[in-house]
Amino acid sequence: MSVKLEIQNILVYSELNDRYFYTTFDNKLNVIYGKNTAGKSTLIQLILYAFGINDNKIKLSEILTEEIFVRLDCVITKNNEKLKFTFIRQDETLIVKDPNSKVIRFNGIGSDQSAEHIKLKKYFNSLFDFNLLLESNSGISEAPMETLFLPYYVSQDVGWVYLRKSFSNLTFYKNFKEDFLDYYLGIENVIDREEKRKIENELRSLQQQMKFFSDVEQENQELEVSQIINDSLAGKANELIISLSNNKSDLITLEKDYVNESNKLTFYNQRLSVVSKVKRNHKNQFPGEDSCPTCSQILPENIEEIYEFFQEENDTISLQSELKEKIKNSQSKVNSINKKIEKSQKEINKEYSTFNKYSENKITLENWIENKANIQLYDNLIKQIGTLKLEIDKLKLKLKEYKTEKDIYFAREKKNHIFKSAYFKNNINLGIPNLEEDRFNKLYEISSFPFQGVQLHLAILSYHFAFNELLTKTKGIHRLPFILDSIFKEDIEGGNKEKILNFINSNFPKDTQTILSIADDKNIDSHIEQYKNEIFKDNAHMICIGDGTEEKALLAENDNSQSKLISETYEIMETI
């Protein structure tokens, strides 16, 4: 549901000069009137100023020298709940008192680029569910605060001459008109377009990769031949490879056995050599006859020594005999394994020769091996193409969530048609000729009107009422008071004035407030009572500035009628 703002009252107070202005607003039509330069436009600009708008500070320079504060008491309807807010602005500080009586301060909002003003903008964006994004040379960013009020505000001067120019700092955005209208008519937001653009760029990149890989697959003859070779010989090649692999595995086992047995044989031979040397030396060490090899003394002679001598000799002979037998057996095993190795090698060589010579359709297994790298490349290529296809399909599916250029065109045309119908109806009521050229009646094509003077003024009025009617039909768009400043130009005569007022009285939006200002001098041909009694009747809440006779009369001497509200405002401002 749309968020709606209703202004209940405004208080302007200058402590420096002890002067003030206070008025309430009705929830329907509010007519601010007074003499030219009385302060009607100043009051309207102060309303915007109280919300943090800086665009009109130059026009407010005179009253700002009185060191004023501006207080707005408002009701914001959100999610079917009415919430009371108070907005107070003094110089570069804006204070918000929310429905929970929490006081929020934004200090230093005098520049739109200041950190505090950016925080304030985010606060209002959240409060009003406003998320318009605009594109500039520096990229896409949140729209300035003025765009929150722009559809509902026609300024005193340029607002009645140019469309969407009631605020001055919006012209440098790219495609501002289209993005502004799309957002407020619920067609497309910039963020949608930006996300869609990213997806489209990613999709194009993937499609280019897909084309490259597909071209390689289709145009590279070597890959095609490799695939033919693979298809022709894959079965036989795998069969021979398995056989070769098994034989090679057996050969490796035999070679391991050969090495192990050879090591044993070497060990036995070395040990036999040692035992033989021991045996020879032992013969020269008989007790009582031979000398000790170390000290040259005759070895002792007794029964034990003689017995030990013969025992050692017998052991040596026995060990020598045992080693010879082991050497014999080990050598036999080595020879046997060696024969098996030679046989296995011959079989492997024979199989490999068969492998190389085998062919089908003049394609050999040797070709198959040489092309195996191409086969791997081909397989990777196919996998890559498959992966890309899946990613492309996902992105295409995601793109369907966004409007196409054709969808946007037809959505805009539908809005053009609705606008044109309302605009033509308004033109008939205001006595403006309807022009059939699209650039003068299609919402997305209108930039200016081929009228001057009163007719231009009436055409602008007709446009804004038709556009406001469209806004009431857009789901989720915030609703603010419809503010029309200075609805009478100096060259508008009596008959046209009544026509304008009758039109406004019959067509002002019924779901939100309308605030308009009228120049009327009670001393010179005043018609305000006539307008009130004959046109507005019970529809309008009349707000007089300067008694209808004074200039620069917005602030009056403090009569203490609002002393309680003034004191309460200072208490809020002084809350830490």
The CATH number that applies at residue 92 is: 3.40.50
Partners of 13 in beta bridges: 20, 69
Do both 237 and 358 map to the same domain? yes
**56 lies in some domain:** yes
Closest CA to 59 of 197, 131, 156, 132: 156
Do both 380 and 234 map to the same domain? yes
Q: What is the pLDDT of residue 354?
A: 63
Q: Do the beta carbons of residue 426 and residue 507 sit within 8 Å?
A: yes
CA quadruple 391, 394, 398, 404: dihedral sign: positive
Q: Do the beta carbons of residue 44 and residue 485 sit within 8 Å?
A: yes
The 8-class DSSP code of residue 471 comes to H
Within 13 Å and on the Cβ side, how many CA atoms surround 187?
22
**524 lies in some domain:** yes
Task: Note the pTM of the prediction, 2 decimals.
Answer: 0.69
Q: Do the beta carbons of residue 13 and residue 63 sit within 8 Å?
A: no
DSSP calls for 204-242:
HHHHHHHHHHHHHHHH-HHHHHHHHHHHHHHHHHHHHHH
**350 lies in some domain:** yes
- The total number of residues written for the chain in this structure: 576
Among candidate residues 386, 414, 448, the one where a domain is terminated: 386
Structure-token match 């060696």, residue found: 338
- Most distant pair of Cα atoms in the chain: their distance: 167
**463 lies in some domain:** no
Q: What is the pLDDT of residue 372?
A: 62
3-state secondary structure 59-85: CCHHHHCCCEEEEEEEEEEECCEEEEE
Do both 86 and 232 map to the same domain? no
**195 lies in some domain:** no
Cα gap 66→87, rounded to integer Å: 19
Within 13 Å and on the Cβ side, how many CA atoms surround 212?
8
Do both 237 and 329 map to the same domain? yes
Do both 125 and 220 map to the same domain? no
Cα gap 397→402, rounded to integer Å: 10
- Tell me the pairing of strands 103-107 and 93-97: antiparallel
Among candidate residues 341, 356, 386, the one where a domain is terminated: 386
> Is residue 208 exposed (0-12), middle (13-18) or buried (19+ Cβ within 10 Å)?
exposed
Cα gap 466→468, rounded to integer Å: 5
Cα gap 480→435, rounded to integer Å: 31
Q: Do the beta carbons of residue 173 and residue 134 sit within 8 Å?
A: yes
**474 lies in some domain:** no
Domain residues for the domain of 361 are 214-386
Cα gap 260→292, rounded to integer Å: 41
Cα gap 186→141, rounded to integer Å: 19
Within 13 Å and on the Cβ side, how many CA atoms surround 368?
24
Cα gap 97→86, rounded to integer Å: 5
Do both 363 and 228 map to the same domain? yes
**175 lies in some domain:** no
**448 lies in some domain:** no
* Helix, strand, coil percentages, rounded to 5, for the chain: 55, 15, 30
Cα gap 221→227, rounded to integer Å: 10
Closest CA to 35 of 494, 517, 458: 517
Cα gap 108→519, rounded to integer Å: 35
3-state secondary structure 388-450: HHHHHHHHHHHHCCCCCHHHHHHHHHHHHHHHHHHHHHHHHHHCCCCCCCHHHCCCCCCCCCC
Do both 238 and 102 map to the same domain? no
Query: How many domains is the chain partitioned into structurally?
Result: 2
Q: Do the beta carbons of residue 91 and residue 14 sit within 8 Å?
A: no
φ/ψ of residue 334, rounded to 5: -60, -45
Cα angle 130-131-132, degrees, rounded to a multiple of 5? 110
pLDDT in tens, the chain (576 residues): 789 999 999 999 999 999 999 999 999 999 999 999 999 999 999 999 999 999 989 999 999 999 999 999 999 999 999 999 999 999 999 999 999 999 999 999 999 999 999 999 999 999 999 999 888 888 888 999 999 999 999 999 899 999 999 998 787 898 899 999 999 999 866 556 677 778 878 888 888 888 877 776 665 555 555 555 555 555 555 666 677 678 788 888 888 988 898 898 888 888 878 777 777 776 666 666 656 666 666 656 666 666 666 676 777 788 778 888 888 888 888 899 889 888 888 887 877 676 655 544 455 555 555 566 666 666 777 788 888 888 888 888 877 777 777 888 899 999 999 999 999 999 999 999 988 888 899 999 998 899 998 999 999 999 999 999 999 999 999 999 999 999 987 778 878 999 999 999 999 999 999 999 999 988 888 899 999 999 998 889 999 999 988 999 999 999 999 999 999 999 999 987
Among candidate residues 352, 386, 420, the one where a domain is terminated: 386
